């Protein structure tokens, strides 16, 4: 039995919302347990908060690497087939084609944008680590 795309997308949205809500809840519980009013934070607590900050930036950045790789794949398909939309990518047959040098330019620019997205996803955790060191967390 095939599931429809709408049902799949709705279930993914609900699951992601539940995980996001659980992440926010547990983060707030952890932070309220760590910061107890007038008590100054210990170096171990500061290291834990810095590690959590680094993990969150890694979790935010690494999906961008996957998206960038996919966009680069689409760009390579455009360049290899020398047409937009590339053959075998599941576009409608009535969509207008772009052929030749113009599609090659689209392929190169798509690959470049995918590379920029992947590099940005890799640099986000490094930026988070640098900010963590600057602010002394």
Is the Cβ–Cβ distance between 48 and 31 less than 8 Å? no
Same domain, 25 and 55: no
pLDDT tens per residue, range 75-124: 888 888 888 777 777 666 666 777 778 888 888 999 999 999 999 888 88
Same domain, 54 and 3: no
pLDDT tens per residue, range 56-77: 888 888 888 888 999 999 888 8
Same domain, 23 and 79: no
Question: Is residue 35 helix, strand or coil?
Answer: coil
How many CB atoms are closer than 10 A to CB 65? Answer: 16
Same domain, 58 and 22: no
Domain that holds residue 71: 41-134
Q: Which residue has the tokens 């290899």?
A: 80
Same domain, 12 and 70: no
Same domain, 53 and 32: no
How far are the Cα atoms of 7, 13, 112 from residue 4, in angstroms, in the given order? 5, 14, 33
Question: Domain tally for the chain?
Answer: 2
Is the Cβ–Cβ distance between 115 and 68 less than 8 Å? yes
pLDDT tens per residue, range 19-58: 878 887 888 777 777 766 656 666 777 777 777 777 888 8
Tokens, residue 91 = 């576009």
Same domain, 32 and 75: no
């Amino acid at each position: 039995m095939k599931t429809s795309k709408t049902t799949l997308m709705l279930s993914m949205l609900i699951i992601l919302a539940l995980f996001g809500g659980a992440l926010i809840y547990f983060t707030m519980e952890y932070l309220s347990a760590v910061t107890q009013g007038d008590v100054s934070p210990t170096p171990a607590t500061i290291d834990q908060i810095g590690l959590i900050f680094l993990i969150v930036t890694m979790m935010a950045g690494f999906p961008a690497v996957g998206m960038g790789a996919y966009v680069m794949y689409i760009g390579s398909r455009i360049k290899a087939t020398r047409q937009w939309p590339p053959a075998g990518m599941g576009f409608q047959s009535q969509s207008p084609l772009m052929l030749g040098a113009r599609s090659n330019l689209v392929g190169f620019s798509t690959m470049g944008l995918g590379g920029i997205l992947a590099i940005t996803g890799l640099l986000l955790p490094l930026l988070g680590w640098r900010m963590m060191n600057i602010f002394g967390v």
